Structure 1
């Protein structure tokens, strides 16, 4: 894979299990000297293999829902495309903004409280940009299972004990102002230090640490991860929309694909397809091989599937952004 070694891939995998781990701990786990590890991580950052350090946050647990919007461009030029991407990237309640290739050109994921709060956003999108968008589709996401990039360390079946994140509403929590500040900071940078937060929030380090522990205990903070540009590793990010002959088979499909080391996310949604599966694969042929392997073993389970490629990640923020208001000290604006 380009000029990256097996040790580089092992480091990436290790960082994605917990990007807040100390250099000393990671060096011990991957069995290289600390100075060498620092050099390798800096190189991965400089080459933008590591795009960002982020925190996986289950915002469902404090009242948010997820709506996904996919669309194709029409009547477009480079300047207008950049303008549309910037428009979505600057919105405080977008979770993901991605350039795609295939069935869709652009993918946006929104955090919303409900349909009533989303409709004005939807209306504004098409008032300002409707003449440049076509074939637009909405998904209402119920659940997402996010997996580690197991393929970096093995091409065999994913270990059963490998940790993965589950984002769905499991409880209804009230989030305090201070907890929200911690989440806002971690959503931008998972490596934000507790000492820095302590200074900014005028709280003791032990208070900050205890709040973080409670956020993890309540399933709000899921994990500390890294966003990897897999194209720099010679891989493709593919999302499959899978249509089933019978929804009773959805658990079987999920159970089977969870074992695949190249699967990085499985989602249950209401909308276009029955289940969505994201892969990091060697090429398009490799993706089809993985799909056909399941279909050969489980005939008449999958009716058909479509797919598109994720090419550029413009934004990844696991919680809506708090912005300043003249009338209210902190608010989430829609």
Structure 2
């Protein structure tokens, strides 16, 4: 059983998950409450650990980076040694996402690299250090990651477009000031303009203008709340789907976009044909969702595998040096 939330808490979480830089006044209008009410509720959600922070979704491909995902299965390792390996990976500058897993893998993470040779150097370094603990591994290249807000919080289908990262071949030129802004926003998407201006020794107006341009160029794809859904009684599942017919990708993606529990769809090179990430209140609910997909796309889906996420340990779109 998770923490029980009322309508207003759920609506606030959903709106912050859609746009965590939303102004308090605008959020107050959406839920028809005062700014003081909204501020109080957000503070309580932060204090209880339901809101862990605020992410800025940065399209690393527009900065000239490719994302590669690694799964590791450990053996011949103590719990303390595994914790040390995980902490080392979390602190690694190339790693922008890391989750601990149950099932066929123990840990999954993503690294941002300029090219495949950079990844080879990184992989060589990791294997020299930890090969004795790794019984098997999987390495795939992300070609795109689409993300959608947690519409299940308000019991509705998702209607927003979501965000997409990793799919651009157009590298956008940015300067040091832009990168400084991106780094601040990657730490906390709700950092006030005045605070950013003081840190960067610039005017709030110039910071606002640069942020707007970064959004227009698609480098900043959006802003999302980092929510600990385990406190709400939900778990994180990832399914890997093999397709018999890949011609209906568009229809499958549209189905996933609208489904309130599906939060990510991924395409990769070297992995399964299609991947989805979803959150469900029980394994039975997860199974019902997967069965609904199999029924809706009967004849297209060959088989699927899945893992269960224990805990997302890192999600930061700009941890790497630029």
The aligned counterpart of 1:44 is 45
**Residue 327 of structure 1 aligns with which residue?**
none
How far apart in 1 are the matches of 2:299 and 2:285?
A: 21
Task: Describe the superposition over 1:149-203 as per-residue Cα deviations: whole angstroms up to 9, x where unpaired.
Answer: 0111124x333xx131011215221111110111011011101122222222222
Given that residues 27 and 33 in structure 1 are in contact (C-alpha distance below 8 angstroms), is that contact kept between their aligned partners in structure 2? yes
Q: Is the 8 A contact 2:246 2:300 kept in 1?
A: no
Quote how far apart the aligned CAs of 1:73 are: 1.8
> Which residue of 1 is the match for residue 125 of structure 2?
124
CA separation of 1:41 and 1:178: change in aligned 2, threshold 3 A: same
Question: What corresponds to 1:145 in structure 2?
Answer: 146
Where does 1:1-334 land on structure 2 (aligned, <5 Å)? 1-155=2-156, 157-159=157-159, 162-167=160-165, 168-322=167-321, 332=322
C-alpha distance in 2, partners of 1:255/1:198? 40
Task: Give me the TM-score of the superposition, normalised by structure 1.
Answer: 0.92
Alpha-carbon offset, residue 50 of structure 1:
0.9
Q: How far off is 1:247 after superposition?
A: 2.4
Which piece of structure 1 moves more, 260-269 or 193-202?
193-202
CA distance in 1, matches of 2:319, 2:198: 23
Q: Distance in 2 between matches of 1:249 and 1:21?
A: 35
**1:232 aligns to what SS in structure 2?**
helix
Range 267-276 or range 252-261, more displaced = 252-261
In the TM superposition, residue 78 of structure 1 has moved relative to its aligned partner by 2.3
Q: Is the 8 A contact 1:93 1:319 kept in 2?
A: no
Between 1:34-43 and 1:266-275, the stretch displaced more is 34-43
How many pairs were matched up? 320
Unaligned segments of structure 2, at least 5 residues: none
Name the SS of the counterpart of 2:168 in structure 1.
Answer: coil
| Aligned-partner Cα distance in 1 for 2:188–2:3 | 28
Is the contact between residue 244 and residue 250 of structure 1 (CA under 8 Å) also seen in structure 2?
A: no
- CA distance in 2 between counterparts of 1:21 and 1:170 reads 30
Stretches of structure 1 lacking an aligned partner (at least 5 in a row): 323-331
C-alpha contact 1:184 1:321 (8 A) present in aligned 2? no
- What RMSD over aligned residues (CA atoms) do the two structures have, in Å? 1.5
The answer for the alignment partner of 1:326 in structure 2 is none
Contact kept in structure 1, 2:112 and 2:320, CA below 8 Å: no
* Alpha carbons 1:187, 1:319 under 8 Å: kept: yes
The 2-side partners of 1:266 and 1:190 are apart by: 23
CA distance in 2, matches of 1:243, 1:69: 19
- CA shift in 2, pair 1:133/1:273, >3 Å: same
User: Which deviates further from its counterpart, 29-38 or 146-155?
Assistant: 29-38
CA-to-aligned-CA distance 1:263-311 (integer Å, 9 cap, x gap): 0000111112111100011211211211111212322211100111112
Cα distance in 2 between the residues matched to 1:110 and 1:316: 11
SS at match of 1:278: strand
For structure 1, which segment, 10-19 or 288-297, has the greater mean C-alpha deviation from structure 2 after superposition? 288-297
Mapped partners of 1:170, 1:46: distance in 2:
41
